[in-house]
Amino acid sequence: MRSPARSTRHVKRPALYLLLLCASLVLSCTVDQKRSGLPTQAQAAIDSTGEDLDQERYEKIYQEAAEEWKTSNTPEQSEAAFKSLREKLGGVRTRAYQTAREEQSSSGQLPGHTLVVTYYTTFERGEGMETFTLVERKGQWQLARYFVNSNALKQ
C-alpha cells in the first residue's frame, strides 16, 4: 500500500508538467510574435501599405510615400505598376516574415535610417518574395521602394 505522501507527489507531477507545457507554449507564441524585431511604427507602415495595396488605394500609397519614391515615380507610373502586379498575381493571401536589414548611412541612394523587410508572400495566382524598403523621416517610417520577385510575373 502506498503512503499518502507518495500518492500526492504523483498527482502533483502531472500538474507540474501541464503547467510547464502551458508556460512553454505561451513563451513560444510570444517569441513568434516578436521574432521580426521590427520597430512598431515600421511594422505599422508595412501593414498600412499592405492594406492599401489590397484595397487598391494606390493614390494614398503614393501620397504617404517617401520623397525617394516620388522622385522616381509619377503618380501614374506608381498606379500602373501596382495595377500590373495586381492583374498578374491577384491579391495577397498570406505574408510570412523572412528577413529585415536595418541600415544607417549618410550617403548613397537612401541616406539616413532605412529598413529593408522581406516577406515570403502567397498571392491568388502565384507566390514570391515581397520587399518593402522604408526610410525614417522625422520619426515616421515611409515607403521608399516596393519590389515583388515572382516567377508568376514572367509568364
Q: Where are the domains of the chain?
A: 1-35, 37-154
Q: Is the pLDDT of residue 109 over 90?
A: no
Question: Between 155 and 55, whose confidence is greater?
Answer: 55
Q: Region 14-25: what's the mean pLDDT?
A: 41
Instruction: Round to whole Å and give the CA distance between 115 and 38.
Output: 9
Name which of 56, 64, 55 is nearest 80 in CA terms. 56
User: Phi first, then psi: what are they for 39, rounded to 5°?
Assistant: -60, 140
- pLDDT tens per residue, range 126-136: 999 999 999 99
d(CA 81, CA 76): 9
- pLDDT score of 18 more than 90: no
- Burial level of 143, CB count in 10 A (0-12/13-18/19+)? buried
Concatenating the DSSP letter of every residue in 117-138 gives: EEEEEEETTEEEEEEEEEEEET
pLDDT in tens, 56-92: 999 999 999 999 999 999 999 999 999 999 999 999 9
> Would the pTM of this model clear 0.85, i.e. be above it?
no
End-to-end CA distance of the chain: 76
pLDDT interval class at 5 (50, 70, 90)? low
37-154, what's its fold? Nuclear Transport Factor 2; Chain: A, (3.10.450)
**Which of 108, 110, 153 has the alpha carbon at shortest distance from 130?**
153
pLDDT category, 33, cuts 50, 70, 90?
very low
